[in-house]
A and B are shown apart, each in its own frame.
Chain A
Amino acid sequence: MKITLDADKCCGAGQCVLVAPEVFDQRDEDGIVVLLDAEPPAEQHDAVREAAAICPAAVIEVH
């Protein structure tokens, strides 16, 4: 799995961090998404897919 972000679209909702805190974080100053692990291990894949599906700005793409 490889994750890419279109962070310019991020609205800072932070739902990805709630769902997959080991893969996503938010910048302190504006809440914009930060990718901690672009190629996370298999045990994270379900959570990452959930985060991508739930993101209210369609920022997260999973390849």
Chain B
Amino acid sequence: MTARPIAVVGASAAGLAAAEALRRSGWTGPLTLIGDEPHLPYDRPPLSKQLLHGAWEPERLLLRTEEQLAPLDLDLRLGTRATGLDTATRTLTLDGGERLACVGVIIATGVAARTLPGTEDIAGVHTLRTLDDALALRARLTGTGRRLVIVGNGVLGCEAAAVARELGHHVTLVGVEPTPMAAAVGTEVGELLAEEHRAHGVTLRTGAVDGFEADEHGVTGVRLADSGLLPADTVLLAIGSTPAVGWLAGDPALDTSDGLRCDAYCAAAPGIYAAGDVARWEHPVHGRPLRFEHRMNAAEQGMAAARNLLAELGESGERKEFAPVPYFWSDQYALKIQAYGILTGADRVEAALLDKEERRVAALYGSGGLATGVLAIGLPPRQVRTLRAVIAAPLPWEEAHPRLLAALG
């Protein structure tokens, strides 16, 4: 009988980080990496930035070349989807019907872009999650003067709006929330971003989408529930995403209500771990289950899940709770927005520095009397790292606020 592999399901940032960490930590047994897309592991953040812009070609997004992957000695299954998992026997079912019995499984299947019913067959209506999505939208935005309506004013919608304006298209950004990125950064910073988008010529609209108008060539407009019709020849749906857990729903041992529920070690069941956008794990410092769709978390959690799986299998080391300081960034026009900790759901936000002229911002976020997050725009890196240190562990607001001010000098 041949040795059972460790299988990593999902060949993006989290899955690749897990596979590499397994090898670095000494796993010499068979290692299977399964990805449903046909591409070698690539990086997603540039999809809505440099790739959409046309500044970078797809090769630039590859996280590793074939030569760099070779030493990992992977059984690499691209264009392959896992369709089921029996946690008791750690056996995966793949879309060709193959059953793969494993010693351990790391689930890093990410999320899928949410769509709206009835849009599948309308030409010109796009989502933006995969490389193929981004290339299709980029092809549509060749030339100038397209009328692009972006439905959803979160991080992705805002980044795409900035790129489309730089390319010379007419851009309308529609959100149910009046302030762009309000859920991610709060309304005060969100308002500053709104001004930035307006200054670059983006039309901002508030409203719920009621439906789409189309003719034989494709989409012609977006209907809003109570404020009329927005003419469009191209639409981007940037209305969030759904964790890719449908294939796991058959196993009663797993909780897939919002991503795959894991303990503080990123374990969902014995021998079964999860990482990246799909994983909702018990953050030991914040004391509650959290799930992040952030690039940094994908790599950090992939590595943590790999090490903890090897520790459970008795291969190396001790299991450690996964307790990162969350981080995300967003690039819009010349602005780089960086944030550490937890900003969503804050009941208190204070912009300690808000220099609109110079586009410099430092803001503190908190809830329940604790400071939990910081955001920086236009600050030097040393200062940003000092801000991070303020909220690396949640601190009473009264202690954190003066430390933040001191860090800003």
A residues contacting B by CB (< 8 A) are 9, 11-15, 17-18, 26-31, 49, 53-58, 61
Contact = CB atoms under 8 A, between A and B. Distances in A.
A14 B45 contact: no
Contact of B303 (A13, A17, A18, A54): A54
B295 A58 contact: no
B295 A56 contact: yes
Given A31-B336, A53-B20, A13 B329 contact: yes
A18 B24 contact: no
Given A53-B20, A58-B64, A14 B381 contact: yes
Contacts of A61: 68
B21 A53 contact: yes
Nearest to A14: B381
B384 interface: yes
Interface in B365-385: 380-382, 384-385
Given A54-B300, A58-B43, 9 more contacts: A13-B296, A13-B329, A13-B338, A15-B327, A17-B385, A26-B381, A31-B380, A53-B20, A53-B21
B385 A18 contact: yes
A47 B73 CA distance: 23
A15 B64 CA distance: 19
A12 B300 CA distance: 17
A28 B299 contact: no
20 contacts: A11-B45, A11-B329, A12-B329, A13-B329, A13-B338, A14-B381, A14-B384, A15-B296, A15-B327, A29-B380, A31-B336, A49-B24, A53-B17, A53-B20, A54-B296, A54-B299, A54-B300, A56-B295, A58-B43, A58-B63
